[in-house]
Structure 1
Amino acid sequence: MRRFGRTLVTAALAVTVVAGTAGWASGDSQRAVTGPPPGVAAWRADAVSGRALPDPAGATPREVARFFAGLDDAARRELVRSHPLVVGNLDGAPLALRYEANRIAVTATGEARYASLAAPGRQILAFDPRGRGQVAEVFGDLERAGHVSVIVPGSDNDAGNYDAGRKPNTGPAGMARALRAATGAAAAAPDSVAVIAWIGYTTPVGVGLDAADGRLAEAGAARLARFTAGLDAVGAPDPVLFCHSYGSVVCGLAARDTDAADIVAFGSPGMRAGTAAALRTGARVWAARGPSDWIADVPNVEFAGIGHGADPTSPAFGARRVPAADVQGHTGYFMPGTQSLAAFAAIAKGDVR
């Protein structure tokens, strides 16, 4: 009974902290965007040479890849022109077609907040304007890369603020650029490492109850698992998942359903598992936390759906530790010259055994 009482007190503390009474901003409840993107009804009603198109809600990425492999170039281009939002978000579709489809889809929205995503040379792998918007962008040549990393961010990220001004080397795109540069891919070996900034789920806003429970993470985990299956279907290497803050909750829930080679949690409130082994993944699991990261003040509990469990950097969790003694704050893990970025680059290149 005494132990149960301590658990209740700790859980209550967790709720108090995340609700904002400690001075942090509270967030409004978000509705997770799930399922196929707009335009799926017209897609389902269409056909190519009498063949039904693969159902975005039911077809596996490998089935999608096989379907497109059986089409000639003219048929592929027609699907891009007629159904850009579907093709642009269809895991398993050829990468070049998805880039072109998303350029068309972004332009068609006519919204100034998305306009920069359609700029020449950008490789937008996913774009969904529903809700606050979701987006994924590729840095590097994903078709020829020998190694692939995926940045899975936490709260306050969406398509609307993806290109907003931020402190250098922070935010999903800034982290992706910093990681790719640190691997040397941008200069010495341009095709060896590709990095994807993935905002493919509805993230919490602020540090409120949405950030304290797993509802949005569960929806995001399903989308992340399908996204990585889509990478596999087009022949990409098994990815490294770099999971920041609430994004590490997403990665923890998705771990058993991805083919990731490595999963790196940093600035993590927990991964909804008591140990690395409990993630039930064949990936190597890594964890990092800087000395001034405020995430250390979030209680590592999980009670009645609130809190995300054990600290991934604790020895008992069993993850490999990433050095982070020189990291400043909650978003400084990709700053040039830090121990964490050097270690991340080595993991991304597969140089760590």
Structure 2
Amino acid sequence: MRRLGRALVTAALAVAGAGGTAGWASGDSQSAVTGPPPGSAAWRADTAYGRALPDPATATPHEVARFFAGLDAAARTALVRSHPLVVGNLDGAPVPLRYEANRIAAAATGDARYASLAAPDRQILAFDPRGRGQVAEVFGDLEHAAHVSVIVPGNDNDAASYDARRAPHTGPAAMARALRAATEGAAPGGSVAVVAWTGYTTPVGVGLDAAGGRLAAAGAIRLTRFTAGLDAVGAPDPVLFCHSYGSVVCGLAARHTDATDLVAFGSPGMRADTADALHTGARVWAARGPSDWIADVPNVSLAGIGHGADPTSAAFGARRVPAADVRGHAGYFAPGTQSLAAFAAIAKGEAR
């Protein structure tokens, strides 16, 4: 029992560092932000031309889409202005309305950390200021894209730090920009839209949150609904690029999404023994650079600690993404790397 106890502690400390760039600082237990967006009670009490509004807690994204399809421009504008936090986070609502609503919501917080999100050139698809905050941003033309990719980040990511200065090509927004630039080629504007999705409560620093699956399970529910929302507005089935603890989220969400591809990189495990055990029709890819410290994380799953098999192992059965020139844990989107070139091919549906 003493040996088992030491193994659990070792695994917890090792896995807890996964996903962020904040280093081995102490982590605090986080309360997952879940459920309908703030302002939902006032939304439920309102109507549009006498029609009840779809309940954010129970209406499916497709039901939301059908509701908005039946409104004229005046009614849509009125709802955006009266309920920006709901419309901005309502999966299935028209994309331009969500952008407009989130500009209003971010500006209304009066919080300097969120002021940049309200800029007129930002395409903020979700913004929730509760807790550390959650945000999703679109790069490209989501309404007309032939392909859509979603970046699912790991530890130490939230709306409060979303626009903070980081090392080049790291962090969800910079990863999304790098991927979109890599897919453009000789045709500026391109046919790929990329979403930086910081849409769940991530672990902070070292702690049992990062070693366990509680936050990932809550995040998987939100990711599943988000991808259903993309489907409801007619977007193509997405590619999910899942970094570190984000790959745990993707692993738990896999069977419930319509993703064409799941790409796990710098992953501590996906809470499955094999790619087949994810029970998804998506192609599963995995990458790990030679200097990524995630390789030192024990691939265990004991008493809820650890995330299981290494997705880059032959036994797992994922398709390997070349990453021999990747530096560190967050260098997978650096221009010129094998991994970014492979990611771009996957995003464009060209990889085999």
Output the TM-score relative to the length of structure 1. 0.96
C-alpha distance in structure 2 between counterparts of 1:75 and 1:282, whole Å? 39
Q: Is the 8 A contact 2:84 2:101 kept in 1?
A: yes
Amino acid aligned to 1:29: S
Q: Which residue number corresponds to residue 94 of structure 2?
A: 94
Q: Is the 8 A contact 1:153 1:247 kept in 2?
A: yes
Q: Is the 8 A contact 1:11 1:302 kept in 2?
A: no
- Counterpart of 1:242 in 2: which secondary structure? strand
C-alpha deviation, 1:11, in angstroms:
3.0
Q: Is the 8 A contact 1:89 1:126 kept in 2?
A: yes
C-alpha distance in structure 2 between counterparts of 1:84 and 1:214, whole Å? 32
C-alpha distance in structure 2 between counterparts of 1:19 and 1:152, whole Å? 17
Correspondences of 1:10-49 after superposition (within 5 Å):
10-18=7-15, 24-49=24-49
Q: 1:256 to 1:7 in 2, by over 3 A?
A: farther
C-alpha deviation, 1:184, in angstroms:
1.4
Amino acid aligned to 1:117: L
- Counterpart of 2:131 in 1: which secondary structure? coil
How many equivalent residue pairs? 347
Q: Which residue number corresponds to residue 139 of structure 1?
A: 139
Correspondences of 1:151-170 after superposition (within 5 Å):
151-170=151-170
C-alpha distance in structure 2 between counterparts of 1:112 and 1:127, whole Å? 15
**RMSD (CA atoms):** 1.5
Amino acid aligned to 1:215: R
Q: Is the 8 A contact 1:152 1:244 kept in 2?
A: yes
Deviations, residues 171-196 of structure 1 (Å, cap 9, x unaligned): 000000000001116x6141400000
Q: Which residue number corresponds to residue 205 of structure 2?
A: 206
Amino acid aligned to 1:206: G
C-alpha distance in structure 1 between counterparts of 2:13 and 2:329, whole Å? 20
C-alpha deviation, 1:209, in angstroms:
1.1
C-alpha distance in structure 2 between counterparts of 1:12 and 1:156, whole Å? 21
C-alpha deviation, 1:168, in angstroms:
1.2
C-alpha distance in structure 2 between counterparts of 1:40 and 1:323, whole Å? 45
C-alpha distance in structure 2 between counterparts of 1:140 and 1:175, whole Å? 14
C-alpha distance in structure 2 between counterparts of 1:44 and 1:83, whole Å? 10
C-alpha deviation, 1:13, in angstroms:
2.3
Q: Is the 8 A contact 1:26 1:209 kept in 2?
A: no
Q: Which residue number corresponds to residue 127 of structure 1?
A: 127
C-alpha deviation, 1:207, in angstroms:
2.7
C-alpha deviation, 1:19, in angstroms:
6.3
176-185 or 210-219, larger mean C-alpha shift? 176-185
Q: Which residue number corresponds to residue 72 of structure 2?
A: 72
C-alpha deviation, 1:6, in angstroms:
7.3
Q: Is the 8 A contact 1:10 1:299 kept in 2?
A: no
Deviations, residues 122-175 of structure 1 (Å, cap 9, x unaligned): 100000000000000000000000000000000000001100011111100000
Q: Which residue number corresponds to residue 173 of structure 2?
A: 173
- Counterpart of 2:155 in 1: which secondary structure? coil
Which stretches of structure 1, 4 residues or longer, exceed 4 Å deviation after superposition?
Answer: 4-9
Correspondences of 1:265-280 after superposition (within 5 Å):
265-280=264-279
C-alpha deviation, 1:16, in angstroms:
4.1
Identify unmatched segments of 5+ residues in structure 2.
Answer: 18-22
C-alpha distance in structure 2 between counterparts of 1:7 and 1:67, whole Å? 55
C-alpha deviation, 1:258, in angstroms:
0.3
Q: 1:199 to 1:18 in 2, by over 3 A?
A: same
- Counterpart of 1:183 in 2: which secondary structure? helix
221-230 or 32-41, larger mean C-alpha shift? 32-41
C-alpha distance in structure 1 between counterparts of 2:318 and 2:120, whole Å? 41
Q: Is the 8 A contact 2:95 2:143 kept in 1?
A: yes
Deviations, residues 293-330 of structure 1 (Å, cap 9, x unaligned): 01111100011111000000000000000000000000
Amino acid aligned to 2:192: V
C-alpha distance in structure 1 between counterparts of 2:193 and 2:308, whole Å? 32
Q: Is the 8 A contact 1:155 1:207 kept in 2?
A: no
Q: Is the 8 A contact 1:19 1:207 kept in 2?
A: yes
C-alpha deviation, 1:5, in angstroms:
8.8
Q: Which residue number corresponds to residue 314 of structure 1?
A: 313
Q: 1:77 to 1:285 in 2, by over 3 A?
A: same
Q: Is the 8 A contact 2:103 2:118 kept in 1?
A: yes
C-alpha deviation, 1:32, in angstroms:
0.2
C-alpha deviation, 1:12, in angstroms:
3.7
